Structure 1
């Protein structure tokens, strides 16, 4: 919120650039997956999820809510605090999304939920990670100024590189899914 209040052009322009790339990757994944709107909406609303194995009776008799194929393997339970994607401030969820948090899926779709969630909530998850690091530093030295802590974090190249690698890995996974999809479609059309 402070970045927007202070109109910090350095951070705003960089955040906007990353948001644009991330949004294009997310839209690409939505197009490839073609999941029902209720599933897409749930992944976009809830920043956290758990995946649990289902019993054998469900596995054989139920269809995956995402792709529609028979045979589910897991239950995906969405949860967390919905937030404004620009300011990252908590907000109320769409009333329709409150009851749409529990989905039976095949393993492939469950892994896609994980990827889509990472990309959709990338900025939020990174903010949480940064807040955790600030809190850790503040615990070790309660008198240290916030600006000093932030400068130390920005100077921690190995940590920043790891964050960047994690983001790029998610983006590359989406590109790989697209490549695989395009390869299958080109073989079918021959």
Structure 2
């Protein structure tokens, strides 16, 4: 039996606009308005999940999705870099940033490595395969990238080569450890 997981990236807010590492800031008014406008563009799903961040929870609500929080969908933990921009960190810790971007097992910030994120999200994805049907998950862009890396069996270094736009949908369908990808599409207003 096939499970179809539609990942939706959250609406944009000041954090994403400023390219800052997650600090749990909510989407801005324009982002929420875009989510409300796109509410009817998603197929009905019997099961909905959301990352625990306020950005994902508020996006799910604006989309009209009844979603339960799933800890496994939490954003990449960037430890001491949280709340800062990549430019700020690169200026203060250039060697640490270089190591982090070059080695998916590195976590110089004291948080989680990209490899660990891919394993966490992959475990959640594989657990869904036992329950066929359609699932919708509002999750941070890093989580969507990690799901694609896991599902397609890509090397963890490919994580940095995937872009996930706000309010885009990425669909994975699979069974018995085999997944297919429908690349991210922008949600269109209903």
The two structures have a TM-score, normalised by structure 2, of 0.25
Higher RCO (CA 8 Å, separation ≥ 6 residues):
2
**Higher Cα Rg: structure 1 or 2?**
1
The two structures have a TM-score, normalised by structure 1, of 0.25
Q: Which has the higher helix share?
A: 1
